[in-house]
Structure 1
Amino acid sequence: MGVQTVSVANGNHDKDHKDDHPLAALKQYKYQSVDKSLISYYILRHYWNWAVELLPRWMAPNLVTLVGFGAILFNVLCLVIFVPDLIGPAHPLLYFSFSFGLWMYSTMDNIDGKQARRTGSSSPLGELFDHGIDSLNCTLASLCETAAMGLGNTKTGWFTALIPVLPMWFSTWETYHTHTLYLGYFNGPTEGLIIACLCMSLSGVYGPQMWHERIADIVGHEDIFHDYTLKDLWFPVIFSTFLFIHLPFCVKNVVSARRSRGEPVLPVFLEWTPIVVFTLAGCGWAFSPYTTLRRDNHLVLFCLTLSFAFGRMTTKVILAHLLHQPFPYWTVMIVPLIGGAVLVNAPPLLGYEPVDALIELWYLRGYFVFALIVYFNWAIKTINMICGYLGIKCLTIPYKKEELKNGHAKTA
């Protein structure tokens, strides 16, 4: 996933001359990853090697990533149109579309780096673009999962849509310190997405109501499962997997990397500040007994808004990693999230009436517009700055004039 290597041949700089440009670290950067998934190694890598050969050589790696993300955006649009209550049931084709779109996203996310090496267009921008899109996708793909399981605007539905930001952020934090993206034997981008696709497909076959059936009616053992349904197990399983497997391994790898370099360990836990604030503020708003967002079915708008805030927060860490910069503790896009939590909770706690539903909705809409503008303004400026320094294009593969005459792509 992402771009494997970066050529240092961009530009005609004297090797003996030290480049003091703020982006100079990009020219020495090399992407590193470890994927221990047995499914990836024995099955999916053959599929990915086959799939990348279907792409035209003129197609830029970042464009491949964007096409995959487009499949998710298409399904979010379909969700809004055909199952706005996130309960359904909708036409079975919609759930199959969710599954196919997520699989398409996963495929493109895994072959964009292969396309970069295939076309000789690897660059550190690829990692920033790839994982930046992953950050945006966290809540959006999970939103489709919420609809596919018919969870609606329940707390379980909101948790399902929002919880993927946690493993994504901690993996990014881990990569910042270890300089390697580590995917374990069972990981979210592989096994997690396969399970999500299977769940969506099952909803297409049996309908989302299958997740609301009593487990005792399916497997028996009334005395063990009582009135628990399949959806009742969903959140505990997901959260436990993150809390007891994903997070401990991230911490272990970061601690090992720091100790191997003789660096202090405890200060790195202060870097959890942004995700802790983001999580507490988000939960303080979304799960407040005084909020009207769940009652009035505004999960889609909430997820879209938080996708930009989280995307900005995560890509700042990625960029700091690429440029060997200090860890970024803050982004202005968290401020309105804190404001939302204060808006809905402060008045009742101070003895006043809860804020009006219309005021809360317009505050969320304003936050969405603010997040959209700030995110794209920052993203476009950052991409243009990196492209200008490395002499590359974001969504196209540049060609040298002399190579164009011979019909060959740039390989430097």
Structure 2
Amino acid sequence: MAHLKTYKYQSVDKSWISNHILRHYWNAAVKLLPMWLAPNMVTLLGFCCILFNVLLVHIFVPDLVGPAPSWLCYSFAAGLWLYSTMDNIDGKQARRTGTSSGLGELFDHGIDSLNCTLGSLLETVAMGLGPTKIGAFTALVPCLPMFFSTWETYHTHTLFLGAFNGPTEGLIIACSFMILSGYFDSEIWQHRAADYVGLDKYLGDMVFMDFWLPIVLGAFLFAHLPSCVINVYRARKQQNLPFWPVFLEWIPMIIYTASICAWCASPYSILLRENHLAIFCLTLSFVFGRLTTKIILHHLTRRPFPYFTVALIPLAVGGIMAWLPLFGFEPISARHERWYIYGYFVFAMGQYFVWAVRVINRICDVLDINCLTIKKKAIDGREKQAFVGKELKTKSNANGEVRGTKKEL
């Protein structure tokens, strides 16, 4: 825990949009926040915008197909944008209030991990994909870049965001798709692309949705993942450490991804057939949140890479259970699988919150801070600093020289 006291957040953002457009918007937005508002509370309020829209999904589009009302798609876009805004200004609020700490990064990226499946679930609903394989893919694929960015940060101790990255350009595209779904209806994604852009000879009867999976996977496999691997390779080389052992650290994510694919692809499972995708995404939000937040915690405390979290076991069992007929067994009954899905949700949620509360309380004790509020001593310290600055200013003469005794200064 001693490393938490000396920890300094480091990041590199090469996005042109972030540096030349959104930076001014974020700087203006943070000035609207009161000085007594804790940075972690800013992060949590942004996440509440996502949770509110997930609740709306359960009320208005429980089948995840819809089509969702136009106002709901606009609400999805607004909620995602507000979440992104809060996610980008919480660090600025921490610097404003003098409350930057390792807990801030843990809380920030922990919330980002929880949002991976929930924010993308809103995209699935907005595009009318429903409980299908492509719908599950859309809801769960953001976990891949999030994991590898976290893995990269663990080794480099710096968060790298490329010229085209998910938190900026990717989020803008996601919000744009939600707005388009609200304006044109979600059926727009099932229209022939050639009817809008021409090129019948090359596009044929392909619809817009046919481009979704290859574009998303291609961006991850050929842009994001290689960049992460290269940065980790450079960091290991600089530290004179072997490179190849780091690939063993992909095992948790391989188990996570393979189990999801096996469960969702099984013709014997009711997971998608009976529309349990929403509860599955909520469950995986806690599973993935625990997986990546442990990596962040071990990065902050300079501990060995965490290869295992117990929440992966029920997921792997579910993936195997969905294919029991391949091993000569009878398929599990719909009733038992239904109980297993909801039981897994309760287990993952309970385990996550117990662990998160224990970790947060421990860090708060070590750093002598609060998680969601600013301690009075910090506020008093800022007021004292402002008072001293004011006194020095009043003692300055016209030439800028500071007057007063050594004791006063």
Mapped partners of 1:172, 1:29: distance in 2: 17
Mapped partners of 1:406, 1:241: distance in 2: 48
Name the residue aligned to 2:33: 55
Name the residue aligned to 2:349: 372
Mapped partners of 2:158, 2:300: distance in 1: 12
Letter in 1 for 2:298: A
Letter in 1 for 2:326: L
SS of match in other structure, 1:297: coil
Letter in 2 for 1:156: I
Mapped partners of 1:186, 1:63: distance in 2: 28
Q: Deviations over 1:180-211 (max 9, x none)?
A: 00000000000000000000011111111111
* Kept after mapping to 1: 8 A contact 2:68/2:125: no
Name the residue aligned to 1:124: 102
* Kept after mapping to 1: 8 A contact 2:98/2:378: no
* Kept after mapping to 2: 8 A contact 1:140/1:307: yes
Q: Give the C-alpha shift of residue 401 in structure 1.
A: 9.1
Cα 1:401–1:291 change in 2 (3 A) is: closer
Is it true that 1:275 corresponds to 2:253 in the alignment? Answer: yes
Q: Give the C-alpha shift of residue 408 in structure 1.
A: 7.8
Mapped partners of 2:188, 2:294: distance in 1: 41
Letter in 2 for 1:228: M
* Kept after mapping to 2: 8 A contact 1:119/1:409: no
Name the residue aligned to 1:188: 166
| Runs (5+) with no aligned partner, structure 1 | 1-22
Letter in 1 for 2:250: W
Q: Deviations over 1:32-87 (max 9, x none)?
A: 00000000000000000000000011100000000000000001111111111111
Letter in 1 for 2:343: G
Mapped partners of 1:88, 1:385: distance in 2: 45
Letter in 2 for 1:382: V
Which of the residues 169, 182, 195 maps onto 2:147? 169
Mapped partners of 2:230, 2:194: distance in 1: 39
Q: Give the C-alpha shift of residue 90 in structure 1.
A: 2.2
Q: Give the C-alpha shift of residue 355 in structure 1.
A: 1.2
Q: How many residues align?
A: 388
Is it true that 1:35 corresponds to 2:24 in the alignment? Answer: no
SS of match in other structure, 1:182: strand
Q: Give the C-alpha shift of residue 402 in structure 1.
A: 9.4
Mapped partners of 2:65, 2:265: distance in 1: 19
Cα 1:354–1:115 change in 2 (3 A) is: same
Which of the residues 217, 220, 224 maps onto 1:242? 220
Which of the residues 296, 312, 337 maps onto 1:334? 312
* Kept after mapping to 1: 8 A contact 2:190/2:208: yes
SS of match in other structure, 1:34: strand
Q: Give the C-alpha shift of residue 219 in structure 1.
A: 2.1
Mapped partners of 2:143, 2:49: distance in 1: 20
Structure with the greater alpha carbon radius of gyration: 2
Mapped partners of 2:240, 2:387: distance in 1: 42
Mapped partners of 2:378, 2:168: distance in 1: 41
Letter in 1 for 2:315: L
Name the residue aligned to 1:9: none
Name the residue aligned to 1:7: none
Letter in 1 for 2:29: A
Alignment of 1:343-362 (within 5 A): 343-346=321-324, 348-362=325-339
Q: Deviations over 1:122-179 (max 9, x none)?
A: 1110000000000000000000000111111121111000000000000000000001
Range 146-155 or range 214-223, more displaced? 214-223
Q: Give the C-alpha shift of residue 285 in structure 1.
A: 1.0
Which of the residues 251, 259, 269 maps onto 1:291? 269
SS of match in other structure, 1:370: helix
Q: Deviations over 1:228-247 (max 9, x none)?
A: 11111111100110011000
Letter in 2 for 1:33: S
Letter in 1 for 2:214: P
Mapped partners of 1:103, 1:186: distance in 2: 17
Name the residue aligned to 2:359: 382
* Kept after mapping to 2: 8 A contact 1:403/1:410: no
Letter in 2 for 1:376: F
* Kept after mapping to 2: 8 A contact 1:403/1:409: no
* Kept after mapping to 1: 8 A contact 2:68/2:128: no
Letter in 1 for 2:307: Y
SS of match in other structure, 1:329: coil
Which of the residues 365, 370, 376 maps onto 1:393? 370
* Kept after mapping to 2: 8 A contact 1:399/1:410: no
* Kept after mapping to 2: 8 A contact 1:398/1:410: no
Mapped partners of 1:406, 1:248: distance in 2: 47
Mapped partners of 1:262, 1:408: distance in 2: 44
Q: Once superposed, which parts of structure 1, at least 4 consecutive aligned residues long, lie more than 3 Å away?
A: 404-411
SS of match in other structure, 2:279: helix
Identity percentage over the alignment? Answer: 61
Q: Deviations over 1:293-332 (max 9, x none)?
A: 1111111000000110000010000000000000000000
Mapped partners of 1:294, 1:349: distance in 2: 19
Mapped partners of 2:378, 2:283: distance in 1: 43
SS of match in other structure, 1:400: helix
Letter in 2 for 1:386: I
SS of match in other structure, 2:376: coil
Q: Give the C-alpha shift of residue 409 in structure 1.
A: 9.3
Q: Deviations over 1:348-389 (max 9, x none)?
A: 113333211121111010000000100000000000000011
